[in-house]
Amino acid sequence: MSKRLNNMLLGMVCMSMMACEDPIDIALDEGRSQLVVDAFISSDMSLQSIRLTNSANFFLNSAVPAVNSAIVNVEGPNSIVYNFVNDKQGNYIYDPSTKGALDSIGFKYRLQISYNGEQYQSFSMLNPVPKIDSMTYAFELEELDSKEGYYTQFYATDFGGRKDYYRIKAFRNGEPLYPENPEFINLSEDAAFGGEGADGLLFIFPIRAAITDEGNPFLAGETSSVELWSLNRDAYSFLQQMITQANNDGLFSVPAANIRSNIVDISGSTQEEVLGIFSVSSVSRNSIIINP
Amino acid sequence: MKKLSLLFLLVIALGFSINAQKKYTISGYVKSSSSGEELIGANIVVRSLSIGVNSNVYGFYSLTLEEGTYDVTYSFIGFDEVTKTIELTQNQQIDLELKERVKELDVVEISSDAAEQNVSSIEMSVNKIDSKTIKKIPALLGEADVVRSVLLLPGVTTVGEGSTGFNVRGGGIDQNLVLLDEAPVYNSSHLFGFFSVFNPDAVKNVKLIKGGIAPIYGGRLSSILDVRMKEGNKKEFTGEGGLGLIFSRLSLEGPLIKDKASFIVAGRRSYADILAKPFLNENLKDSRFYFYDLTAKMNYQINEKNKLFLSGYFGRDVFGAGFIFDWGNATATARWNHIFNDKLFMNLTTFFSDYDYAFGVQAESARDEFNWRSSIVSYSLKPDFSYYLNNKNTIKFGGQSIYYNFKPAQASFISGGEPNDISLPEKFAIENGLYIQNEQKLGARTRLLYGVRWSYFSYLGNGIKQFYGDTIAGLTKPLLNTEKFDSWESIANYNNFEPRLSIKYDIDETSSLKASYNRMTQYLHLISNTVASTPIDLWLPTTNNIKPQIADQVAIGYFRNFKKNSYEASAEIFAKDFQNQIDYIDNADIFFNEELEGDLLSGDGRAYGLELYVKRNRGRLTGWVSYTISRSERKVEGINLGNWYPNRFDRLHNLSVVTSYELNPKWSFSANFIYSSGTPATFPTNRYEIQGVILPHNVNQSRNNYRIADYHRLDLSATLTPSKNQDRKWKSEWVFSVYNVYSRRNAFAVFFEQNDQNLTETEAIRFSVIGSFVPAVSYNFKF
């Protein structure tokens, strides 16, 4: 929400002051390449995928190199090891129809990666997720930063008496609403932005309504769907930092900083820094057809 | 306390040891005969004895001489000198009015202060600007501005246009004590810093103290920006105002009781929103973006010994369209000047100051909304005494007590018709100070100012004391334990002695050497994790986890005037050492965080530099050149691998050229040129991809490892004064100005982003707040 505020204010300053943004050429120092782990998996029965790549020079301007020489697995309860098999594209895939889903609520799953002689590990606890009770839609007229069309909302209630973190994913006709745009990652700490008063409530207004593209709202006949993903604090904080750092511009920009990973090198010798995140989530879903 | 009383005794002893002959005192106020305004810093001199004093900030002076007859000369720049022959056989109160000099082109003076004071006064690292000078400087959108004028002085830098506040000698923006008639202003900007809250029509003079800070001041590390408002014309009713492109001004002043009481009221409002209204469609009609402010002051001379002042400021910036975002200050000051006798003068100030910002979002149904307000409120009582012991010693002593109430977040939301309060707890604190100082003349050439300030701060209940674990680089400190405190119970308290010393030595009539040392303590902290400071930065007190900031500064300067004070020049070097500077863990969450203190880091800072300054006071061409070379760095465990790194506002070179040329009575021209080195920024070395999003990464974990491009800018203005002005009361002028004449796109920051069209491409984006030249015209009037 503060992002949106930022853009609005920036817009106003631009109008009055002729602010401008233009691309420039800058020579940056080249840094060494590091292992990157992109591991958002869920307790679903669908194929679960972990992606390994290498970091590259900032202005590489092509796809980052995939890593296919690692061994990846996740350890579940009773020492069951779920092997994630490399597909030669940098993805490591596990099919839950073989050994079952990773669905032990409250269990701390352990990620293990062996790569280039180093051993990496990370833990993520599988948290429960509340069900999405219902969804609604309403027609809205054009406003300063939003177009005319159908806007949807979802209704779900946070678990009381515990700290919960969620990511809300929005879809339009089954397709992610905002592919690859960190600006629209929608997160929630309990039912709001944290603080004691936010526990155990219906997800509050700006969060539950942030599932429509304001620049291109839903049309009659389209389907709006929502997924609610439970997160650990680590993953929540990682996504929050990602939102900040990937689109860090304007008057309200913050100092550039590295995003904290929850994966560590446990090999005895040198501690290699590894980038990325390991997260196991429960997911609940709902959808509504705009049928006025 | 022991040191304090010892010093006091010493001072008293010094004074009385030379007190042998019969002495009498002349004292009183120096005023302008046209408006009745008190003159600050007027010279009162007995030339035959080479003895003199200056009137204080209330226009009061006191001069003690042996029995006899003297020619006493009263002078003030821009006013006719008056010499009075005084037969001194008893104490006398002499209130004197000086007449404004008729304007002659070749004696245009831009300083309100006697030029020779550059050399003769004990003050160093001080810059004064009066409202006349401020109004001559070519300004953004033609609107003269106090803080933007301050940016042209030596030792002052800023992160860039659109950033709130200013940085003095390597200090953060929260290290400036900005005073409006003695009440602190917690955020001095309108429109994110494009303008400041001070209405130049209501400002009498502005003094920036960067070093050699006297014990009378305390509470901030780096500077005092002392803004004094006009008192209001005591003789006749007058007005002043202007119509500009972005806002309009009007101020009215006049006597309430002739020669006894007067007032001034000044207001401004921006009207970009009103102008835009017809062009907005139906749904945008309720969008708001404007600011306004109102400044008012009243004074009443009860009798010769007593004077009362009431002043206030109220201003807000409002932005809104579906959401609302607004911020503003409110201050109120009451002061009582009392003359106990011809040697003892008192000013008693009490003030209230409030800064708050708010935003909210409301859904159509009113069953859903989100509201947020954050504020700092302070109340204070401040007695200050000046004791004119004799013509060699002027003692000042006094104290201050400030009570603070911080409300970091009063937040509530309504979700589906159900209201919920998610406010963070309020915090309370009290800050006390006691000081004593003596300004002493030692022989004909040497002057000393020495003293000490003792400060005490208590973080008060009701509140919760939080205990945190140790810092692990990059991680939020864990909250280990909490303890509850009741109202007025002290949760944590600190006290500090702050010694201050200044020395001046006259080399000859036109040059002097000055040196100073000061220690300052600061108990308030502005928590800001944005690159530039913004209105939503948060003021917090010192707590058991956040230690008071301390700075020691040493400055040495050479001061010289040329050509009968037509030119004044100075060269100063300074070095500053900072302790307990606040920084943040990477990606700290300061916006809404009950455990914010766990995200804060503490470190050391250092700054040093050379400031050169030449100013021309007389002639058709006036103005100044200021050049500063300086460095400001900090070192914090857990940032930049624990090594020193430059502060965000560090600029190695800083050059300002400010000139004004009076061609004839009709036309005058002004020009500014500013050059400064680029500010540092943290640039990535690598990129990586998570969930299809490209993220920047710096493998060296360095902070501020690059410099953005240099900043430079030229501004021009021309003022047309119609010749018909001369014969009428209504005086008007047109000001035509161009800001950023050659349209330089000065970078405010460089961002690294994914290209919108081609997502595998990353690019560096230069963000310029002002991307082209900005022409403006404004019409100013006086009646």
Question: Residue B762 is nearest to which of A61, A192, A254, comparing CB atoms?
Answer: A61
Q: Residue A163: which residues within 8 A CB-CB, separation 6 or more?
A: A189, A190, A199, A233
- Chain A residue numbers with beta carbons less than 8 Å from the beta carbon of B416 are 155, 202
Q: Give the distance from residue B369's alpha carbon to the nearest chain A alpha carbon, in angstroms.
A: 7
CA A292 to chain CA centroid, Å, is 32
Candidates B569, B615, B622; CA nearest to B107 is: B622
Which A residues in the span 71-100 are in contact with B, Cβ-Cβ below 8 Å? none
Contact across the interface for B418 and A202, Cβ inside 8 Å: yes
Q: How far is A105 from chain B (nearest CA, A)?
A: 24
Q: Name the B residues in 638-657 with CB < 8 Å from any A CB.
A: 648
Q: Which domain holds residue A85?
A: 35-127+235-281
Contact check, Cβ <8 Å, B475/A260: yes
End-to-end CA distance of chain B: 54
A256 with A181, same domain: the answer is no
Are residues B83 and B131 part of one domain? no
- What's at A271, amino acid-wise? Q
My answer on whether B272 and B411 are in the same domain is yes
Q: Which residues on A lie below 8 Å from B708 (Cβ)?
A: none
Closest chain A residue to B271, measured at CA: A16
Chain A contact for B151, CB < 8 A? Answer: no
A54 and A117 both lie in a single domain:
yes
**Number of compact structural domains in chain A:** 2
Number of domains chain B contains: 2
Spell B212-245 as b/e; 16+ CB within 10 A means b: bbbbbbbbbbbbbbbbbbbbbbbbeebbbbbebb
Q: Is B194 close to A23, i.e. CB distance below 8 A? A: no
**A141: which chain B residues are within 8 Å (Cβ-Cβ)?**
283
For residue A222, the distance in angstroms to the closest alpha carbon of chain B comes to 23
The reply to whether residue A20 touches residue B771, judged by beta carbons under 8 angstroms, is yes
ipTM of the complex: 0.91
Query: Do B417 and B288 reside in the same domain of the chain?
Result: yes
Residue pair B153/B127 in contact by the 8 Å Cβ criterion:
yes
Using the Cβ of A7 and the Cβ atoms of chain B, whether some distance falls under 8 Å is answered with no
Query: At A203, which CATH number?
Result: 2.60.40
Cα distance between residue A212 and residue B363, in whole Å:
15
Residue by residue, DSSP assigns B27-90 as EEEEEETTT-PBPTT-EEEEGGGTEEEE--TTSEEEEEEESEEEEEEEE-TTB--EEEEEEESS
Give the whole-angstrom CA distance, residue B358 versus residue B300.
37
Chain B touched by A143 (CB under 8 Å): yes
Cβ of residue B529 closer than 8 Å to a chain A Cβ: yes
- Does residue A118 sit in the same domain as residue A181? no
Residue B193 lies in a domain: yes
Which residues of chain B does A24 touch, with a Cβ-Cβ cutoff of 8 Å? 747, 750, 764-766
The first and second tokens of residue B496, run together, are 């500090």
Same domain flag for A156 and A275: no
At A144 the pLDDT is 63
Same domain, A170 and A215: yes
| Chain A contact probe: residue of B371, B587, B756 with most A CBs at under 10 A | B587
B699 neighbourhood in chain A, CB within 8 Å: 31-32, 34, 55, 273
Residues 6+ apart with CB under 8 A from B462: B428, B484, B485, B486, B487, B489
Nearest-Cα distance to chain B for A52, in Å, is 10
Please name the member of A19, A192, A195 whose beta carbon is closest to the beta carbon of B768. Answer: A19
Partner residue opposite B764 with nearest CB, options A24, A237, A244: A24
The type of residue at B268 is R
Q: Does residue B175 form part of some domain?
A: yes
Residues of chain B with pLDDT > 90, as a percent, come to 49
Instruction: Enumerate the residues of chain B whose CB falls inside 8 A of the CB of residue A179.
Output: 692
Read off the CATH number of the domain in which B14 is found. 2.60.40.1120
Chain B residues in contact with A274 by the CB 8 A cut-off are none
Same domain, A240 and A123: yes
Between CA B204 and CA B231 the distance in angstroms is: 8
Pairing status of strand B68-75 against strand B43-46 = antiparallel
Same domain flag for A142 and A106: no
Residue B270 lies in a domain: yes
- CB < 8 Å from B in window 229-268 of A: 237, 240-242, 244-260
| A247: nearest CB among B323, B748, B753 | B753
Q: Mind telling me how many Å the CA of A136 is from chain B's nearest CA?
A: 13
CA distance A225 to chain B (A): 19
Which residue of chain B comes nearest to A249, CA vs CA? B751
Residue B586 is predicted with a pLDDT of: 79
The reply to whether B395 and B261 lie within a common domain is yes
- Decide if A118 is inside a domain: yes
Interface check for A177 against chain B (CB to CB < 8 A): the answer is no
Interface size A-B, in CB pairs within 8 Å, comes to: 273
Q: Are residues B184 and B74 in the same domain?
A: no
Q: Do A165 and A251 fall into the same domain? A: no
Same domain for B371 and B500? Answer: yes
**Interface contact B324, partner A, CB < 8 A:** no
Indicate whether B607 belongs to any domain.
yes
Residue B398 backbone phi and psi in degrees, to 5: 165, -165
Are B94 and B203 in a shared domain? no
**Given B530, B687, B691, which is nearest A40 (Cβ)?**
B691
Tell me: do A207 and A261 sit in the same domain: no
In a domain, B313, yes or no: yes
* pLDDT under 50: residue ranges of chain A: 1-5, 7-8, 10, 13-17
Q: Write down the pLDDT at residue B4.
A: 46
Decide if B105 is inside a domain: no
Long-range contacts (CB closer than 8 Å, 24 or more residues apart) made by B493-497: B493/B456, B493/B457, B493/B458, B493/B459, B494/B456, B494/B457, B494/B523, B494/B542, B494/B547, B494/B548, B495/B454, B495/B455, B495/B456, B495/B457, B496/B454, B496/B455, B496/B521, B496/B548, B496/B550, B497/B3, B497/B452, B497/B453, B497/B454
pLDDT of residue B171: 94
φ and ψ of A85, to 5 deg: -100, 135
Residues A47 and A134 in one domain: no
Residues B591 and B468 in one domain: yes
Instruction: Give pLDDT < 50 ranges for chain B.
Output: 1-19, 104-113
The beta-carbon neighbor of A246 closest among B685, B686, B695 is B695
Candidate from A144, A192, A205 with C-beta closest to B322: A144
Asked whether residue A247 is domain-assigned, the answer is yes
Tell me the two tokens of residue A138: 């309403």
What domain range includes position B49? 2-99
Question: Touching check for B472 and chain A: CB below 8 Å?
Answer: no
Statement to judge: residues B59 and B134 lie in one domain:
no
Q: What is the pLDDT of residue B13?
A: 42
Question: Which is nearest to B313 in space by CA: B361, B269, B354, B256?
Answer: B354
- Same-domain check for residues A140 and A158: yes
Instruction: Collect all residues of chain A within an 8 Å Cβ-Cβ radius of residue B533.
Output: none
Indicate which CATH number applies to the domain containing B588. Answer: 2.40.170.20
Residues of B in contact with A192 (CB under 8 A): 413, 415, 420, 422
Q: Which pLDDT score, from 0 to 100, does residue B17 have?
A: 42
Which one-letter DSSP state was computed for residue B100? B
CA distance B390 to B387: 9
Q: CB distance B768–A24 less than 8 Å?
A: no
Domain-embedded: residue B111: no
Distance in Å, alpha carbon of A157 to nearest chain B alpha carbon: 11
Q: Cβ separation of A240 and B587 shorter than 8 Å?
A: yes
Domain-embedded: residue B690: yes
The interface residues of chain A toward chain B in range 17-56, judged by CB-CB distance below 8 A, are: 17-26, 28-34, 36, 38, 40, 53-56
Q: Do residue A171 and residue A208 come from a single domain? A: yes
Contacts of B751 in chain A (CB under 8 A): 21, 248-249, 253
- Return the SS3 of B94: coil
Chain A CA closest to residue B590: A254
Query: Does the distance separating the beta carbons of B246 and A258 come in below 8 Å?
Result: no
